[in-house]
């Protein structure tokens, strides 16, 4: 259970003390503790926060010592960091949660790792093979009309539950001003909690946020929950599940709870946010979606959430590897996808946004349209280092202290 290094330790004796070095961000603990209004997720402070959380999500594929080191380099020296994990291959459980607590105790980042140390391999195996016909659990949510049981993807739910008990115990220590590593007294109690994760880890972070919001016993944690930032996150719940999240009501004798901001980032043609595919269930996203459609650092808020991949889309994923090797064809998949999106936007809108009775009524104009041509998604675009590079604020040093 490591404690991150100090800035003095990070600055090697061979470097000029006046040269660019660590921390990457001054007063990062203040930025995270104070936060900013997420009505505009593109403010300077929010750009810092999302970059820090993307970096944490990327290095969560390593170990707690590495996460502690990288968070120290970014601006959280002497942070307290632990890893909570549980594995069971037969039950498709590969649950890894990292908690990084600032040295002053005010901030905790809870970061969930994707399913494999090699995200481009193990994760896709789980999502494409095991989850094509997923099991569902009934998750109870308090809404205005009372408590309702709503279906949620059992794989994501079980992976969160597998480590939740120990994670919550550690967060309770932080709430009471104790170190998550050794239980010693910290200078301050927890003020700001952030949840994050890449890929499957992003789905787990979003699921944990729903649990903290919906369960009355977590009301003290809920009061500290600032935001959820996910990167390349798959869909975790049904349309019914998402609809009920948006109707969370009074819980016990406490004031009404509203799910904290969930901000999802999708890099170019990343295939994972479009999983599970159609045929696996009525899956949909929730939260605010930002997309990066080129090699710049510009992210645009989507006017509609990404939908599931169709049956003809997934077989074309390997084609992306070939196309990217040919400079003359490199832009063709994006142009093709944009063309198909424009042509079939009314169909997608009708199928995904109309009430279920209307969608089930076999609207005549939908029946007369041909099957949508396949889109070309990318597995390579899913790599966490793409998200980190594209989310880096202009002019900042990398996590290794290098000028970008």
User: Are residue 228 and residue 368 in the same domain, yes or no?
Assistant: no
What is the per-residue pLDDT for 367?
45
Average pLDDT for the chain: 83
User: Are residue 283 and residue 342 in the same domain, yes or no?
Assistant: no
Within-domain flag for 366: yes
What is the per-residue pLDDT for 356?
53
Say what percent of the chain tops pLDDT 70. 82
What is the pTM for the complete model shown? Answer: 0.89
What is the per-residue pLDDT for 125?
43
Is the pLDDT at 349 greater than 70? The verdict is: no
Is the pLDDT at 368 greater than 50? The verdict is: no
Within-domain flag for 250: yes
Q: SS3 of 70, please?
A: helix
User: Are residue 327 and residue 292 in the same domain, yes or no?
Assistant: no
User: Are residue 303 and residue 201 in the same domain, yes or no?
Assistant: yes
pLDDT digits (tens, 9 = 90+) for 240-282: 888 888 777 655 555 667 788 899 999 999 999 998 888 777 8
User: Are residue 147 and residue 239 in the same domain, yes or no?
Assistant: yes
User: Are residue 351 and residue 272 in the same domain, yes or no?
Assistant: no
pLDDT digits (tens, 9 = 90+) for 144-172: 777 788 888 888 888 999 999 999 999 99
Within-domain flag for 404: no
Q: What pairs with residue 142 in β-bridges?
A: 147
Q: How far is CA 258 from CA 161, 209, 245, in A?
A: 22, 11, 8
- The 3-class secondary structure across 214-249, one letter per residue, is HCHHHHHHHCCEEEEEEECCCCCEEHHHHHHHCCEC
Residues across the chain: 404
pLDDT digits (tens, 9 = 90+) for 11-21: 665 555 544 57
Q: How many domains does the chain have?
A: 2
User: Are residue 371 and residue 296 in the same domain, yes or no?
Assistant: no
Q: What is the CATH number of the domain that holds 284?
A: 3.40.50.1820
What is the per-residue pLDDT for 187?
97
- Close Cβ partners of 122 (under 8 Å, ≥ 6 residues apart): 94, 114, 115, 116
Instruction: Provide the residue range defining the domain that includes 247.
Output: 7-310+379-391
User: Are residue 87 and residue 102 in the same domain, yes or no?
Assistant: yes
What is the per-residue pLDDT for 196?
98
Is the pLDDT at 229 greater than 90? The verdict is: yes
User: Are residue 285 and residue 348 in the same domain, yes or no?
Assistant: no
User: Are residue 293 and residue 339 in the same domain, yes or no?
Assistant: no
pLDDT digits (tens, 9 = 90+) for 40-72: 767 888 899 999 999 999 999 999 999 999 999
What are the DSSP calls for 249-314, one per residue? --BTTBPP--PPPEEEEEETTBSGGG-SPTTS-SEE--SEEEEE-SSSS--EE-SS---PPPTTTG
pLDDT digits (tens, 9 = 90+) for 101-142: 999 999 999 999 986 655 544 544 444 334 555 677 788 887
pLDDT digits (tens, 9 = 90+) for 281-340: 788 899 999 999 877 778 999 887 888 888 888 888 888 877 777 777 778 888 888 887
What is the per-residue pLDDT for 103?
96
Q: SS3 of 192, please?
A: strand
Within-domain flag for 399: no
pLDDT digits (tens, 9 = 90+) for 21-32: 789 999 999 999
Within-domain flag for 396: no
């Amino acid at each position: 259970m490591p404690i991150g290094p100090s800035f003095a330790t990070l600055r090697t004796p061979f470097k000029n003390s006046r040269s660019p070095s660590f921390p990457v961000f001054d007063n990062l603990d203040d930025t995270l503790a104070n936060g900013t209004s997420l009505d505009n997720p593109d403010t300077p402070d929010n750009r810092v926060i999302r970059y820090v959380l993307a970096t944490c999500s990327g290095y969560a594929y390593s170990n707690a010592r590495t996460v502690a080191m990288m968070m120290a380099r970014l601006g959280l020296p002497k942070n307290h960091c632990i890893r909570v994990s549980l594995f069971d291959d037969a039950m498709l459980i590969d649950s890894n949660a990292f908690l990084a607590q600032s040295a002053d105790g005010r901030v905790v980042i809870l970061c969930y790792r994707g399913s494999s140390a090699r995200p481009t391999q193990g994760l896709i195996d789980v999502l494409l093979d095991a989850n094509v016909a997923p099991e569902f659990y009934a998750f109870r949510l308090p809404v205005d009309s009372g408590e309702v049981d709503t279906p949620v993807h059992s794989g994501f739910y079980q992976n969160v539950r597998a480590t939740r008990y120990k994670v919550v115990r550690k967060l309770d220590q932080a709430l009471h001003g104790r170190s998550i590593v050794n239980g010693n007294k910290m200078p301050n109690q927890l003020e700001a909690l952030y949840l994050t994760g890449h890929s499957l880890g992003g789905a787990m972070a979003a699921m944990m946020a729903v649990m903290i919001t919906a369960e009355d016993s977590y009301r003290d944690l809920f009061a500290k929950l600032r935001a959820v930032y996910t990167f390349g996150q798959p869909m975790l719940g049904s349309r019914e599940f998402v609809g009920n999240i948006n109707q969370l009501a009074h819980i016990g004798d406490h004031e009404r709870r509203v799910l904290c901001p969930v901000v999802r980032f999708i890099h170019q043609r990343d295939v994972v946010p479009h999983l599970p595919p159609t045929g696996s269930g009525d899956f949909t996203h929730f939260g605010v979606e930002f997309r990066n459609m080129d090699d710049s650092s510009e992210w645009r808020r989507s006017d509609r959430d990404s939908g599931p991949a169709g049956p003809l889309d997934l077989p074309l994923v390997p084609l992306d590897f070939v196309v990217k090797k040919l400079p003359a064809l490199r832009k063709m998949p994006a142009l093709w996808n944009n063309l198909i999106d424009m042509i079939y936007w009314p169909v997608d809108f009708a199928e995904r946004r109309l009430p279920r009775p209307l969608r089930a009524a076999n609207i005549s104009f939908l029946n007369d349209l041909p099957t949508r041509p396949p889109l070309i998604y990318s597995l390579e675009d899913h790599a966490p280092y793409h998200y980190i590079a594209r989310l880096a604020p202009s002019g900042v040093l990398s996590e290794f202290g290098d000028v970008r």
